[in-house]
Chains A and B, each alone.
Chain A
Amino acid sequence: MYFAGLDIGSTMTKAVIIDGDERLIGKLVVQTGPEHRRLANKVMVDLLAQAGLALSEVSYLVATGYGRVNVPFADAQTTELTCHAKGVHHLFPSAATAIDVGGQDAKGLRIKGGRMVNFVMNDKCAAGTGRFLEVLAESMNLRLDELGPTSLRATRSMPVGITCTIFAQQEIVSQLCAGIPVEEIIAGVHDAIATRIVRMTRLIGIEPDVVLTGGVAKNMGFVKAVEKHLGRSLLIPEDSFITGALGAALVARAKFSKESKAGTYRKKDRVLREATFFI
């Protein structure tokens, strides 16, 4: 028996297949792009090929993330809030707080008894998300994965205004012109994002253990900045991208179990079509 989770985020799409014992059978992380439906189909095709499974062998599939409404072959849609909490609890049963920093949004979650019990989201402003780092990297002519190691070379951090990504970009250009070392500027941006994230999460209370997920968790410089502002160390999954998709697969398993017991489960006749909005 297999269950799948598909997390179509604003920047990256993640997909996971687990078996009935909640073991990871396959995973895939790709760029989202504009055509969610065509992408959802392609990701499933590629993931099933990787796992050596047919779609009919997947008993239940849950879609999550902003693009969750664009997965016609999903059995159910669940918010990324619930899915991340479930994924985090699976990986770190001791977690009481989760912070997810994605490409375009950030969320804080409180977890109790394996379930999400409270949340806070920032998805109206890109400051404090991966987007800020993308803008920064572009200004510096660096790759995203170079930001972390570069910032760790800094002996001090150059404060950056944290109101707006675009304003911050202008500030960064002025700092570069003034000859401020690149590593200090990056460290400053990491501090700025970390401050925002921690301040946001404090609204729902921060209790240990605290887990950090999302693509930005791969940036060690940023992780260190968050730990500094939190005043405690963070737990980080080996693959910080797939927590939401993993959670969605776990939700799929739980829903399948519940519906089977209630006698309401109906196996969906799924077809992967090359649907597109653009042609």
Chain B
Amino acid sequence: MAHSGLARARAILKDRRARIDELKHQGSKIIGYLSIHVPLEIISGLDMIPFRIIGDIREPVTEADKGLPAAFCPYMRSVLDLAIKEKFSFLDGFAMNHTCDAQEKTVRVLTSFVKFPFTHFIDMPSTVNDYAVDFYRTELADFQHCLEEFAGKKLDDDRLDAMISIYNEQRALVRRLYALKRPDPPMLSGGETLEVIMAIQSLPVQEGNVLLREVIAEVEERRQGGPEKSVRILVWGSVIDDPVLLDAIESSGANVVIDDLDEGTKPYWSDVAAGGNPLHRLAQRYLTGIYAARTFRDTGDGARKKDNFKDLSARYGYLKSMVEEWKVDGVLLQALRYCDPHGYEIVDMMDYFHFLNVPAIYVEHTYSEGGLAQIKTRIEGFVETLE
């Protein structure tokens, strides 16, 4: 029976590789990527298909000790574990990015265990000034050049521009989907949202856009939203790539109405600008247009010394808009154990939300199903303080 909309998204997630395997069989090349900072427009522009690589929360990590220490990002350990178990051998290429130190080290180790026909490491700066954007543009030019050699063809500016439009279209569609979570109760749950986002990260961009349109039409037809719960939550932090993690939150008496996650709004919240050199616009958007814990933003002019709130607002002001527009009652900051980029943000973020008078809680997890009961107690306790 042919599925459509949300049911189709769920079916795609049951077997993420199904469509990609079909396309590979038809001759397409699949390029895996871990980081949302890899410009997918370049990959698609050369008629290859970007495929988001994720971990597996249910797979016991038995091989990662061969390459990584135990006290290390559990998500990266899961990814390395899957690589050693040959779960990524279907990939024709692997596009890597310096998102964080843990990921940078892991991809080096991973590619020593698994030989892909194509690999490329994009060095991405951690700051957002003009020099950083220029540097990132030269890195992207190098990435494009190497990928062109692998593809056996060139990618001209017009084609890249066309890809930018298609990807911007996907971003706009995702934002339309999130707008349907503004009502109370939201028209689709956090769990359903995650399923749709994970599904489109498993499909070629145009097929993802078709799925998004189906889902939006289906949700707009709903006469009412999900269960009425008294508390609306924003979830921020490191990876949530499996519905079981979101279920732990949504079964605690809260609706996740908006998020700031790589498997949520982050890849879709800002567009690549129009007009001008496409590579420069990609560098601008993928480095400075995505607000991420790994990217340092300084208000400059010694502003932090004069006004801490001004500095915090420069870094987190986009979250204030989310809180206001989605009428958020409380913020759940969650991070993986040993995650330095997210972990180091917590103190300032708690300060920021304290300034805004928005309740916030920090919960750490280990990317394992077994530890969920303890997380649930903390989240339920937090929700009870908001009721």
Q: Which residues of A are interface residues toward B (Cβ below 8 A)? A: 66, 78-82, 115-119, 121, 123-124
Q: Bits for B353-387, please: 1 = Cβ < 8 Å to A, else 0.
A: 00000000000000000010110011011001100
B367 shortest CB reach to chain A, Å: 14
Q: Closest residue of chain B to A82, judged by CB?
A: B384
Q: Compute how far the CA of A50 lies from the CA of B184 in the bound complex, rounded to whole angstroms.
A: 46
Are A116 and B384 neighbours in the complex by a CB distance under 8 Å? yes
Are A119 and B381 neighbours in the complex by a CB distance under 8 Å? yes
A78: chain B residues within 8 A (beta carbon)? 384
A80: chain B residues within 8 A (beta carbon)? 377
Are A124 and B384 neighbours in the complex by a CB distance under 8 Å? no
Q: Compute how far the CA of A123 lies from the CA of B365 in the bound complex, rounded to whole angstroms.
A: 13
B353 shortest CB reach to chain A, Å: 13
B311 shortest CB reach to chain A, Å: 24
Are A116 and B373 neighbours in the complex by a CB distance under 8 Å? no
Q: Closest residue of chain B to A115, judged by CB?
A: B385
Are A79 and B380 neighbours in the complex by a CB distance under 8 Å? yes
Supplied contacts A79-B384, A82-B381, A121-B381, 19 more A-B pairs, CB within 8 Å: A66-B377, A78-B384, A79-B377, A79-B380, A79-B381, A81-B377, A82-B384, A116-B381, A116-B384, A116-B385, A117-B385, A119-B378, A119-B381, A121-B374, A121-B377, A121-B378, A123-B377, A124-B371, A124-B374
B380: chain A residues within 8 A (beta carbon)? 79
- Chain B contact residue count (CB 8 A cutoff): 9
A32 shortest CB reach to chain B, Å: 15
Q: What are 16 A-B interface contacts by the 8 Å CB criterion?
A: A66-B377, A78-B384, A79-B377, A79-B380, A82-B381, A82-B384, A82-B385, A115-B385, A116-B384, A116-B385, A117-B385, A118-B385, A119-B381, A121-B377, A123-B374, A124-B371
A-B pairs with CB below 8 Å: how many? Answer: 30
Q: Closest residue of chain B to A119, judged by CB?
A: B381
Are B374 and A81 neighbours in the complex by a CB distance under 8 Å? no
Q: Compute how far the CA of A237 lies from the CA of B81 in the bound complex, rounded to whole angstroms.
A: 51
B378: chain A residues within 8 A (beta carbon)? 119, 121
A121: chain B residues within 8 A (beta carbon)? 374, 377-378, 381
B377: chain A residues within 8 A (beta carbon)? 66, 79-81, 121, 123
Of the listed residues B371, B373, B385, the one surrounded by the most CB atoms of chain A closer than 10 A to its CB is: B385
Q: Compute how far the CA of A124 lies from the CA of B373 in the bound complex, rounded to whole angstroms.
A: 11
B373: chain A residues within 8 A (beta carbon)? 66
B179 shortest CB reach to chain A, Å: 31
Q: Compute how far the CA of A66 lies from the CA of B378 in the bound complex, rounded to whole angstroms.
A: 12
B374: chain A residues within 8 A (beta carbon)? 121, 123-124
A9 shortest CB reach to chain B, Å: 12
Q: Compute how far the CA of A119 lies from the CA of B361 in the bound complex, rounded to whole angstroms.
A: 10
A118: chain B residues within 8 A (beta carbon)? 385
Q: Compute how far the CA of A234 lies from the CA of B302 in the bound complex, rounded to whole angstroms.
A: 46
Are B371 and A81 neighbours in the complex by a CB distance under 8 Å? no
B105 shortest CB reach to chain A, Å: 26
A11 shortest CB reach to chain B, Å: 16
Q: Compute how far the CA of A119 lies from the CA of B385 in the bound complex, rounded to whole angstroms.
A: 10
B330 shortest CB reach to chain A, Å: 13
A119: chain B residues within 8 A (beta carbon)? 378, 381
Q: Closest residue of chain B to A81, judged by CB?
A: B381
Interface residues of B in 2-17 (CB under 8 A from A): none
Q: Compute how far the CA of A80 lies from the CA of B374 in the bound complex, rounded to whole angstroms.
A: 12
Q: Closest residue of chain A to B252, judged by CB?
A: A79
Q: Closest residue of chain A to B373, judged by CB?
A: A66
A206 shortest CB reach to chain B, Å: 18
A81: chain B residues within 8 A (beta carbon)? 377, 381, 384
Q: Compute how far the CA of A119 lies from the CA of B379 in the bound complex, rounded to whole angstroms.
A: 11
B349 shortest CB reach to chain A, Å: 16
A116: chain B residues within 8 A (beta carbon)? 381, 384-385
A252 shortest CB reach to chain B, Å: 14
Q: Compute how far the CA of A116 lies from the CA of B381 in the bound complex, rounded to whole angstroms.
A: 9
Q: Closest residue of chain A to B383, judged by CB?
A: A79
B346 shortest CB reach to chain A, Å: 12
A279 shortest CB reach to chain B, Å: 24
Q: Closest residue of chain A to B364, judged by CB?
A: A124
Q: Compute how far the CA of A78 lies from the CA of B380 in the bound complex, rounded to whole angstroms.
A: 8
Q: Compute how far the CA of A121 lies from the CA of B380 in the bound complex, rounded to whole angstroms.
A: 13
A123 shortest CB reach to chain B, Å: 5
Q: Compute how far the CA of A104 lies from the CA of B385 in the bound complex, rounded to whole angstroms.
A: 24
Q: Closest residue of chain A to B387, judged by CB?
A: A82
A124: chain B residues within 8 A (beta carbon)? 371, 374
Q: Closest residue of chain A to B337, judged by CB?
A: A124
B260 shortest CB reach to chain A, Å: 23
A251 shortest CB reach to chain B, Å: 9
B230 shortest CB reach to chain A, Å: 12
Q: Compute how far the CA of A118 lies from the CA of B382 in the bound complex, rounded to whole angstroms.
A: 8
Of the listed residues B373, B378, B384, the one surrounded by the most CB atoms of chain A closer than 10 A to its CB is: B384
A82: chain B residues within 8 A (beta carbon)? 381, 384-385
Q: Closest residue of chain A to B379, judged by CB?
A: A79
Q: Closest residue of chain A to B366, judged by CB?
A: A124
A104 shortest CB reach to chain B, Å: 11
Q: Compute how far the CA of A123 lies from the CA of B377 in the bound complex, rounded to whole angstroms.
A: 10
B98 shortest CB reach to chain A, Å: 32
Q: Compute how far the CA of A188 lies from the CA of B373 in the bound complex, rounded to whole angstroms.
A: 32
Interface residues of B in 254-281 (CB under 8 A from A): none
Q: Closest residue of chain B to A118, judged by CB?
A: B385
Interface residues of B in 221-268 (CB under 8 A from A): none
Q: Compute how far the CA of A224 lies from the CA of B156 in the bound complex, rounded to whole angstroms.
A: 76
B317 shortest CB reach to chain A, Å: 25
Q: Closest residue of chain B to A83, judged by CB?
A: B384
B371: chain A residues within 8 A (beta carbon)? 124
A3 shortest CB reach to chain B, Å: 18
Q: Compute how far the CA of A116 lies from the CA of B359 in the bound complex, rounded to whole angstroms.
A: 13
Q: Closest residue of chain B to A78, judged by CB?
A: B384
Q: Compute how far the CA of A81 lies from the CA of B381 in the bound complex, rounded to whole angstroms.
A: 6
Q: Compute how far the CA of A80 lies from the CA of B378 in the bound complex, rounded to whole angstroms.
A: 10
Q: Compute how far the CA of A81 lies from the CA of B377 in the bound complex, rounded to whole angstroms.
A: 8
Q: Compute how far the CA of A80 lies from the CA of B380 in the bound complex, rounded to whole angstroms.
A: 10
B384: chain A residues within 8 A (beta carbon)? 78-79, 81-82, 116
